[in-house]
A and B are shown apart, each in its own frame.
Chain A
C-alpha cells in the first residue's frame, strides 16, 4: 500500500505502475498457466477459497490435476490455447458452483480468471433485445448527444447501476458528462466537467488497450499473487487485460469521495482515439457478470462507431458549409481591386470561413481588421512574433498565451488565433481571432466534503480542480479540423491572388519600361527629325531674303515672321528635349563650389545682356552637393529670369545669396523687376506655363519647370515669392552633403 500521508498523491498517481499492481480484486480468482503443459505457475492467494479446493502454485500442479468441472474446462482451455481466438469466456460449474471463466494469453502465460456467476437469466433473452433495440433506434438519432443518452439508458438497463454517464474528453483530456441515466440514488453529474488529472495518462493508455474495467467495491483489500513474480520471466505479472486487476488506491479513494461504492467503465474508441467513457456508478457494492460486461462492451463499440459516423458526417457537412462560404468570398475577392479591401468588405464571410469572431490581414506593414480583434499595434506585434515561428501552412492555438506570454494582454479577444502566412518574402498573414471562453466549472460531488474527509491529506480533488481552473483561463473554443482545413484552403486561394497581383505588377513594370523606351525613341526622333525642318524653314527664309533684297517691306516682314516662328518652334523642341532628358539621365554628383558657379553664370549672362547696368549683390554662397552641370543650369535659369524680368528697371538690382539650414543649403535670387501675382504662384513651375505675353518677354516657359525638376531630383525644394511690380524672390534648397543613395539617384 502507498503511504497515505504523501501530499503529492495525485502526482504520484500519474507515476503509478497500474499494469502490474501485484494483486487482484477479491471477488474472483486468477490462475496463470504455462502454455506448453498448462501447469499452474502462479495463482491469486484466494484461489483455494474461491474455487473450493487447494491450489498450491508453488508445487506447480498440472491444471489436469485440479477438479475443474470434470475435465470439460481443461479440454476447452487446451483447445482455445491451441487455437486463434484472443479471449475465452464460458460459464462453468466448479464444485457445484457456477463460474464465469475467462482467459487470455500473455507472454507470462495464460491468464485464467474465475468469477462466481451473477444470476441474470438467459443472455440471449436479456441482452439480445437491448442490443437490437439500440441498433434500430440509433439509426434515427440525430446527433452524438441523443446517441449518448440512448446508450446510457441501455447500459443502465443491462447492468442495473444507479448512474450511467457518458463522459467525453476534450483535446486536453479534460472531461465533460455529456449524457446521464440514473435512478436518483446518486447525484446527477450531467454537464459537469472534470480535469484531465482525474484520469492520468497511463490509465488512459490502459483504457485504450483494455476497453472495460469493473470495481465491484471500493472497500476491498487486494489479493496478492503467489508467487509474487512470474516464474516464466521473473517479472511482476502484467495484468493489463485482466478483469480482476486490482486498481490504484488513489482511484478507490476517489470513488469513496464521490460516494460511489462500485464502478464500471467502458472505453469509447472513436477513429482509434479514446473519445470518452461509459462510466457506471453504484451507491453500494455491485458486481456485473462477464457476459453482461461483454454485452456492454459490444454496446460501447456500437455507439463508438455511430459516433464516429455522426462526427465524420458533421465534419463533412461543416467542411462543405465552410467551403461554400469560402467559394463566395474568393469569387468576391477575384473581382475586388485589392484582396485586402475585399476581405474587409465581406467581413462576415471572412470570419465565417473558420467560425472566428475577429480577423486581420497584414500586408507590408498595413493592418486591416474585421470583427473583434486586438488593436492594430497588437496585431502587428503578434505578426512580428509569428514571423519568428517560421510557419509553413498554419498556426492555430486556443491558448495563445501558452505559446507567447505577451498574448495575455489580448487574451480577452484573442485567446484563440489561427494564422496563415500569405507571402514567403514579407511578414504577411491572415489571422483569425477567438475570444476567451471562461468555462463554468462545477465539481462532481462536494469538494468541500472531500476535503473534510481528507484529514490525512490523501486526496486533493479540490486542488486539482483549482489547477484546472487555472488551465482553462485565457482559452478560446478549440479550432475544429474542418476550420483548419478551411483556413489552409483559403490560404492557397489568397496566395494565388498575391502571386497574380505580383505578376500583374511585373507586367505593368515591363509595360512601363517599354513605354519609357518608346518615349526615349520618340524624344530621339523629335531631337533629330523635328529640329531639322524648323532649321530648314529658317534657313530657306533667310536665303530667300538674301537672294531677293528688293522684296516689298511687307513680304520682308512675312519672311521674318516665318523665320521667327521656325526659330521659336526649334527652341521649344530643344527645351522639351532637355526637360525630358532630365528625367532619364543619371545624376553625377559631387561637391559644388556655388561661388564659382555663380561667377560663370554672371559671366555668360553679361555676354548676352550687353549695354545694361546691373547692380549685382552676390553674398556668401556655401557649397552644396549635386550634379554640377544641372545645378548650374538651375541657378542659371533663375538668374537669367531675374535679368530678363528686370529689363527696363533702373537701377536693376539682383541679389544672390545662400545660407545653411540643417542638412540643406538654401539659395535665394532676388530681383526688383516686374514680379508676379502670387495668385499664379502655383503655376509658375509648370511646364510651358508663362505669366507674360511672348512679345514682352521671350522664352518658352520651360526654364522654371526645368529648375524645379533639377531641384526635385536632388531632393530639394523650390519656392517663389513676389508681388506685381515689386520684384520676385526665388529660393531653392540642395543637400549640403552626399547622402547614401538619394532618391532619383539612379
Chain B
C-alpha cells in the first residue's frame, strides 16, 4: 500500500514538473496562467497523498487553504489579463 502511494505521489510530482515546462515556455500569458492553475490543483492532490504517507491528518487543513488561495489567485490574474487592473475604482462621476 505504501509503495503504491509513493508511486502515485511521484507521478503527481512528475506531472507538476511537466506543467512547469509550460509555465516557462508558454507562448502567451494565459498559457502560463492555465499551467499555474493546474499546478495548484496538483499540489492539492500531492498534499493529500503525503498526508497518507506521513500518517498525519493535520495536512488536510492545508488542502482547503490552498484551494481557496489558488481560486482567488486565478480570478485576480485573469481579471488582470482581461482589464489590465485588479481593483477598479469609479472615477468618472
A-B complex is real: no
Task: Report which A residues bind B (CB closer than 8 A).
Answer: none
